[in-house]
Amino acid sequence: MLDYEKVREAERDQAQRLSKSAAGAALEGDVRVEARLAAQTTEKTFVPGEAQTAEEAFKISFTPEQKAQIREMVANASSPAEIERIESMVKRGIFPNAPPPPPGA
């Protein structure tokens, strides 16, 4: 069985040695640069009416009857493109209408 207090002391010693070394300073600098870049590229703008995922929008935007109709539309979809169209509309919080008629119909 491990003595957890000794493991903690050993980890503290390693961390102190790493922080005092040149490799530790380089690692800390890299982490700071990555954090700064992540903060600059992370989009934090709220877009009204659009959820992050279709699943999230599905849960919050539709009534139980509409959810059942959407499930039926997906189950009866005739192509992957039709499923993608339904999913795209759901993600935007729009109830998908009946599928468009096939070309030439």
Per-residue pLDDT at 44: 56
Contact predicate 44/53, CB 8 Å: no
Please give the residue that has the higher pLDDT: either 31 or 84: 84
User: CA torsion, points 98, 81, 95, 92, in degrees to nearest 10?
Assistant: -160
Per-residue pLDDT at 91: 80
Contact predicate 92/57, CB 8 Å: yes
> For 16-52, how does the pLDDT look when each residue is reduced to its tens digit (9 = 90+)?
887 787 777 777 777 787 877 777 665 555 555 556 6
Average pLDDT, the chain: 74
Residues 6 or more apart whose CB falls under 8 angstroms from that of 96 comprise 70, 73, 85, 86, 89, 90
Share of the chain above pLDDT 90, in %: 0
99 closest CA partner among 22, 33, 84: 84
Least confident of 35-49, 57-71, 84-98: 35-49
User: CA torsion, points 7, 11, 12, 17, in degrees to nearest 10?
Assistant: 140
DSSP string, 30-62: HHHHHHHHHHHH------TT--SSHHHHHHHHS
Contact predicate 77/83, CB 8 Å: yes
